[in-house]
Amino acid sequence: MDKYVTPLVVPPVMPRAGGGVVDHIDHYVIGVRQFQQQVLPSGLPATTVWGYGSTSHPRSFHYPAFTVEARAGTPVRVRWKNQLLDRKGRYLPHLLPVDPTLHWANPPGGTSARDSRPGFRSTPGPYAGPVPVVTHLHGGRNSEESDGYTEAWYLPGALDLPAGYAEVGSFYEEFKEKFEDRFGDAWGRGDAVFQYANADRASTFWFHDHALGVTRLNVYAGLAGFYLLRGGPADLPAGVLPGPAPRPGDPPGWKYYEIPLAIQDRSFHVDGSLFYPAGRSAFDGFRGPYIPDSDIPPIWNPEFFGNTMVTNGSTWPVLRVEPRRYRFRLLNGCNSRYLILKIVTHPLANRPATPALPFCQIGSEGGFLPAPVQRDQVLIAPAERADVIVDFASAPVGTELYLINEGPDKAFQGGKAGTDYSPADPVTTGQIMKLVIEALTSPDTTVPPSQLSLPSFEPLGKASRVRRLSLSEQKSASLPKVGPRQMLLGTLDRNGAPVPMRWDDPVTENPALGATEIWEIHNFTKDAHPIHVHEVQFQVLDRQQAGHATRPAEPWEKGFKDTAVAYPGAVTRLKATFDRAGRYVWHCHMLEHEDNEMMRPYTVG
């Protein structure tokens, strides 16, 4: 497959609904559909994907989605429609193999057994029925009914839904009633309406699917997009940072100096279709026995690592840049892969490679940092975002640079590339994007990063409680040499030992409304886990390896975050204020882990 022949797609702005702004609320009607897209280079087959788009603008459906542009203080209301239907209104099965033995949405169980782990007497094949979806705005602080709760999923309003199937998740009806009481807008069959307050600092959010037990597959199929919150006292005036970003009505070929980059790994069949493993053997070679002779899920893989890098929906694209400053909003949209990004002069440079240009990081998930941080490389875990400026002014016209990845082709465990782990394959997953310097078209009047004064913020207040939480790995009870069977969150007992818990165990994290708490995340596994807490933007306080002194948060973690890396054998301390009552979740954002029990509900108030 040729690299660097496809121009980078800069996602346009998601069109608003016909009425646009009504009662000072931005309105959208966004559907989930199946379509074909040229993900691979031209001349190779198109790929069938899923994506979001405006239901009144068919050409807006794209993987990843067009960007929702939001303004601080102006709510956004979205009617999210599950339109995974064929032209005759019949449901479409999943593009990828669904493991029905997990604790998952389980529509075939009906209302009595939905959102459960079904019992099987023999090993089943993949589920082939209608697909549940529910969208989560990752980073936004919103009321529970608009959070995209994992058990508030819904099926498409298909003509041929099988009799006895549950059409909605366990919490859908409750949240439907709460939303209508609060906002006066009714949900319909095959959809849900969410309202986002946008009472946050200017930030890089993203939205993605969050249905119970199939998040890894729905996101892999294409259900993700940027949600950029601008304005308010925690933003900078226009012209200070590189821009423009895409705006409604931009003509084709318009130049942008602020660009979001959604970086993901994928694999493909020779016919262009997405490849995702259909059995556990792809992970560790284990070929059974499965049900009824073991407790190993037959289809689920503990992690997934593709062999192709995709940025903004294209494999190994090329971006032509001018010798000036650019703002890149980086998103690690991979299922399991950690990225360690560098800009270098040659794509096959010996790893670890010498950086050609630095990144200047100005923001993380929850907005701007206290001060810019210059970095030769950017470590970014699944679901994390990094807001960076790269200055190409020193590069002569015609220079070719490369954005590469030095993260491992396996689960990240911390450490340094070349010493503690082998970097990604330099020929494939070690390359991401080509950058070609072309002539400057106008002077760069933006402020150099070293002179930037970023918006200040108040640190969170004193904590009223410290919670001790655990990350654990569970192996098979029947085949103890085979593992892992699942990853688990939990608490600690009096002796500091982990108490693993599953999704449907009673809630143990229940902060009072308005409380500020410290959560100590004790990682008893061998892997680094990106921990995401819904409803809050937290502050990383410090980390402590067993037997070592406490180490403060990294300079690029000094702002607000919604996802943080919990390293193996260490305690990671987070502080958050819980200011919205309701039912939410916290989980590992390695999606294969999240889909098999590494997620827990928590309540506020």
Residues 526-536: tens digit of each pLDDT = 999 999 999 99
3-state secondary structure of 218: helix
Print burial letters for 532-546: b (CB count within 10 Å at least 16), e (below 16).
Answer: bbbbbbbbbbebbee
Please tell me the predicted confidence (pLDDT) of residue 301: 97
Distance of alpha carbon 349 from its chain centroid, rounded? 29
Last residue of a domain, one of 451, 479, 503: 451
Statement: residue 427 has pLDDT above 90: yes
DSSP-derived letter for residue 123 is: -
Could you list the residue range(s) of the whole structural domain that residue 398 is in?
Answer: 267-451
Average pLDDT of span 379-392: 99
Confidence band for 419, pLDDT divided at 50, 70 and 90: very high
Whether residue 491 sits in one domain with residue 559: yes
Average pLDDT of span 44-59: 98
CB 77 within 8 A of CB 27: yes
Whether residue 419 sits in one domain with residue 473: no
Mean pLDDT, the chain, integer: 97
Distance of alpha carbon 467 from its chain centroid, rounded? 25
Please tell me the predicted confidence (pLDDT) of residue 201: 98
Please tell me the predicted confidence (pLDDT) of residue 382: 99
3-state secondary structure of 179: helix
Residues 225-280: tens digit of each pLDDT = 999 999 999 999 999 999 999 999 999 889 999 999 999 999 999 999 999 999 99
Pairing outcome for strands 203-209 and 47-54: unpaired
Statement: residue 19 has pLDDT above 80: no
Contacts of 565 (CB under 8 A, 6+ apart): 379, 381, 384, 528, 529, 530, 531, 572
- Of 440, 526, 444, which Cα lies nearest the Cα of 483? 526
* 302 lies in some domain: yes
Instruction: Provide the domain count of the chain.
Output: 3
Residues 435-484: tens digit of each pLDDT = 999 999 999 999 999 999 999 999 999 999 999 999 999 999 889 888 78
Average pLDDT of span 539-565: 97
* 211 lies in some domain: yes
Last residue of a domain, one of 385, 418, 451: 451
Name the β-bridge partners of 343: 357, 403
User: Beta strands of 114-171 (E only): which ranges?
Assistant: 135-138
Whether residue 172 sits in one domain with residue 38: yes
Whether residue 420 sits in one domain with residue 308: yes
* 260 lies in some domain: no
Please tell me the predicted confidence (pLDDT) of residue 317: 99
Residues 347-370: tens digit of each pLDDT = 999 999 999 999 999 999 999 999
Residues 87-134: tens digit of each pLDDT = 999 999 999 999 999 999 999 999 999 999 999 999 999 999 999 999
- At 78, list the tokens: 């979205």
Residues 144-171: tens digit of each pLDDT = 999 999 999 999 999 999 999 999 999 9
3-state secondary structure of 262: strand
The Cα–Cα gap between 555 and 373 comes to 7
The Cα–Cα gap between 148 and 142 comes to 10
The secondary structure of the chain in percent helix, strand, coil, rounded to multiples of 5, reads: 10, 35, 55
Half-sphere exposure of 77 (CA within 13 A, CB side): 20
- Of 302, 304, 315, 214, which Cα lies nearest the Cα of 263? 315
Confidence band for 575, pLDDT divided at 50, 70 and 90: very high
Please tell me the predicted confidence (pLDDT) of residue 21: 74
* 475 lies in some domain: yes
- At 229, list the tokens: 């919150």
Please tell me the predicted confidence (pLDDT) of residue 265: 99
Whether residue 500 sits in one domain with residue 364: no
The Cα–Cα gap between 494 and 482 comes to 30
Distances (CA, A) of 39 to 8, 432, 457, 528, 531: 11, 14, 41, 30, 30
Last residue of a domain, one of 223, 240, 257: 240
pTM of structure: 0.97
CB 539 within 8 A of CB 560: yes
Task: List the CATH number of the domain containing 307.
Answer: 2.60.40.420
Statement: residue 573 has pLDDT above 90: yes
The Cα–Cα gap between 362 and 372 comes to 5
Whether residue 345 sits in one domain with residue 202: no
